[in-house]
Amino acid sequence: MLPRIFAHERRRRERGTPGAEPPRAQLVAMIRGTFREMPGLSLHLNQAARLFGLRHVTCQIILDDLVADGALRRAQDGQYISADRETTRLAQRDHLIEPGHAPRRRR
């Protein structure tokens, strides 16, 4: 038998259940922040769900909403990527900017 200190589970709700997930606004902020902090990040749905600790269905809904809002894009292979990263990649492909340079934002 485990000592009492290790027998108690720290989670208040079982992992993978709807009640165990943070509120939607917190999830959106966390996912947007992660993609902003790591501009080269590209994730398939299962990778994103694991990274953010979400059920697949919840993760897909949030990611698809971020795609609809224009914050993320969906690559041809199904990966979710930052919309800014895609813009930079396309500009480099079309020789509008040099590799390693991000386009300047308009103010």
| Gap between the Cα atoms of 4 and 101, Å rounded | 56
Whether pTM exceeds 0.95: no
Strands 80-82, 72-74: pairing is antiparallel
- Domains of the chain: residue spans and CATH: 13-93 (1.10.10.10)
- Residue 49: C-alpha distances to residues 21, 27, 29, 34, 92 (Å): 12, 11, 15, 13, 30
Alpha carbon 48 to chain centroid, angstroms: 6
**Please, is 45 exposed, middle or buried when counting C-beta atoms within 10 Å of its C-beta (0-12, 13-18, 19+)?**
middle
Q: pLDDT tens digits for the chain (107 residues)?
A: 555 555 444 445 555 555 667 899 999 999 999 999 988 899 999 999 999 999 999 999 999 999 999 999 999 999 999 988 555 565 456 554 444 444 444 44
